[in-house]
Structure 1
Amino acid sequence: MRLDDSPLLAGIELGGTKAIVTLARDRHIIDQARWPTTTPAQTLAEMGDHLLAWHRRDPVAAIGIASFGPLHLDPQDPAFGHIGRTPKPGWTHADVRGHFAALLPGLPVGIDTDVAGAALAEGRWGAAQDCAVHIYITIGTGVGIGVVVDSKPVHGRIHPEAGHLRIRRVAGDAFAGVCPFHGDCIEGLVSGPALAARAGGDPAVLPADHPLWDNVAADIGEMLAILILTLSPQRIVIGGGVGLGQQGLLARARARCADSLAGYLVDHAASDMETLIVPAALGNDAGPLGAILIAQQALGDAR
């Protein structure tokens, strides 16, 4: 199929700090706009107005939404497409899917988590290609985890929320955590706000050998070991400002993961971690392209 024959798709990536609307054919991005994520009314209106202007110029075939969560993803749920109890002020119960469905009635509208979208994109075009079971983890404003099995994001009663797992803490680390629901869950320990609280300021100014990074690497490594033991992924892809932004953190986390596994699993020694746990290949495009793939799936389901 020629690129011009591919359907024109709109992707909505709604993150905790930024919101991006993307126009694309297949993986080729044609246009894009972004805003800070503020209130639901303002953010959804800005994105919707931009999308509507694109659609009037050149009609889109479907919309895909990749949003922070937790999300209601069961189509039989009266709250389908709404955000659940989120730490993001003002967004609990926001009807994200409904806003865009009402904007362009009759158009297929798909929705999933932002991390599930990024996982799909990394599986199709990025670091998890040819993997039947793979995980995408973003470590940034929060800690989100998307799990894909046979090219489909895992859903159950809701969707994986492994960013709120409780882990074994480093001996002597008494930091209480910042998660308003769980305190010292993994998100409460290693997200951007958690690092700022632990550092007493901007963690980016801390040197690479600061003890804080040892604790953070240990916490991330413990989470990785739990995911390996429970889901047996062929690839774990790490993204996000913390996950990719701190030099040497990923290498330390791999080593601590291997330590946690303690030689129990074949092919999971420290030397195997570099190919099992990898940085995102699509960079900042993983989220927007994930939203495009969600639109593609919605269009296929409608047909």
Structure 2
Amino acid sequence: MDCAWGGIEAGGTNFLLAVGSGPGALRAEESFPTTTPTETVARAVQFFKKQGGKKGLTAIGIASFGPVDPNVSSQKYGFITSTPKKGWAQFNFAGFIQREIDVPVVFDTDVNGAALAEYKWGAAQGLDNFIYLTIGTGIGGGGMMNGKLMHGLIHPEMGHIPIPHDWLADSFKGSCPYHGDCLEGLASGPALEQRWGIKPSNLPVEHPAWELEAHYVAQAITTYIYTLSPQRILLAGGVMEQTQLFPMIRHKVQDFLNAYIQAPEILAEIEQYIVPPKLGKKAGVLGAIALAQKLKL
């Protein structure tokens, strides 16, 4: 049997599972809502057992919502740690899957997984330094620096950076239970819904919500450009399905930078610098498979 890898994209709203080796080579896929850890991960185990379990899989990669512990030397490697998602804090995610399926398991953030997929098959091919930012139920960021996935003390938490909040223009206090008006608290999907009283997908294109959203996202991107100097920035997630945001964000980033960064990618080619992912909604689960493929077995 050819090598087959399992992938789990564990989102705060849904789980997406797949078995295969890359885009166009997935032999099985399944998705379902994220409920309790016991119920949700048991469904994932059942899926992989139907695909042959240990006999049918080389390894399983998990790309998970967080915060998580991705340090392989840590006693809590593979745990979801301080998440505000009810019931999931301090859950030994990787350990549960490894114990039930008995194959090697590799674990990272959902955004790092998606970034790896885009590096291998998508919009970040050929780059050594880039950011993958997802804006949806939460806001998370990952990517690569010098050809390696971003890790450090734990992993990047780009969604929780403080950004300037103009209280005269926006009186919303923010939705983040930890920080109030951090980037996630001001610009995530739930923040949009709480501020305007309607789901973001139902807001019309001309609604003032999008101008404000572009403003906050562009502020964050400007900070990332100054601190990390990425070669490209990929913007994903449910909020970014509002494609009118892309030109607004690009324009505001150029305004905020004010030609201080003298790079043609920003000054003249920004349409190729701030871009959507090429793999779309499958970037996360393909990234989980790519993580599994990185294991030295």
Structure-1-length-normalised TM-score: 0.93
Q: Deviations over 1:165-214 (max 9, x none)?
A: 01112452221110000011111111111110111122333222222211
Q: Deviations over 1:75-133 (max 9, x none)?
A: 2222111111112111111111011110123x221000010000001111111111110
Q: Is the 8 A contact 1:255 1:270 kept in 2?
A: no
- Superposed counterparts of 1:76-95, under 5 Å: 76-95=73-92
1:19 maps to: 15
Equivalent in 128, 134, 137 of residue 132 of structure 1: 128
Equivalent in 129, 151, 160 of residue 156 of structure 2: 160
Identity %: 42
Provide the rounded CA distance (Å) in 1 between the counterparts of 2:36 and 2:196: 28
Structure 1 residue 272: Cα displacement: 2.7
- For residue 11 of structure 1, what is the amino acid of its counterpart? G
- Pair 1:41 & 2:38 matched: yes
2:244 maps to: 248
Q: Is the 8 A contact 1:123 1:151 kept in 2?
A: no
2:174 maps to: 177
Q: How many residues in Structure 1 have an aligned counterpart in Structure 2?
A: 294
1:112 maps to: 108
Q: Is the 8 A contact 1:147 1:160 kept in 2?
A: no
1:201 maps to: 198
Structure 1 residue 270: Cα displacement: 5.0
Provide the rounded CA distance (Å) in 2 between the counterparts of 1:213 and 1:26: 34
- Pair 1:271 & 2:264 matched: no
Provide the rounded CA distance (Å) in 2 between the counterparts of 1:278 and 1:52: 37
Structure 1 residue 58: Cα displacement: 5.2
Q: Secondary structure at the match of 2:206?
A: coil
2:227 maps to: 230
Provide the rounded CA distance (Å) in 1 between the counterparts of 2:200 and 2:10: 25
Q: Is the 8 A contact 2:143 2:149 kept in 1?
A: yes
List gaps (5 residues or longer) in structure 2. none
- Pair 1:297 & 2:291 matched: no
Q: Secondary structure at the match of 2:42?
A: helix
Q: Is the 8 A contact 2:45 2:101 kept in 1?
A: no
- Pair 1:186 & 2:183 matched: yes
1:63 maps to: 60
Q: Secondary structure at the match of 1:117?
A: helix
- For residue 238 of structure 2, what is the amino acid of its counterpart? G
Structure 1 residue 151: Cα displacement: 3.7
Residues 269 and 59 (structure 1), Cα distance of their counterparts in 2 relative to 1, 3 Å cut:
closer
1:261 maps to: 257
2:209 maps to: 212
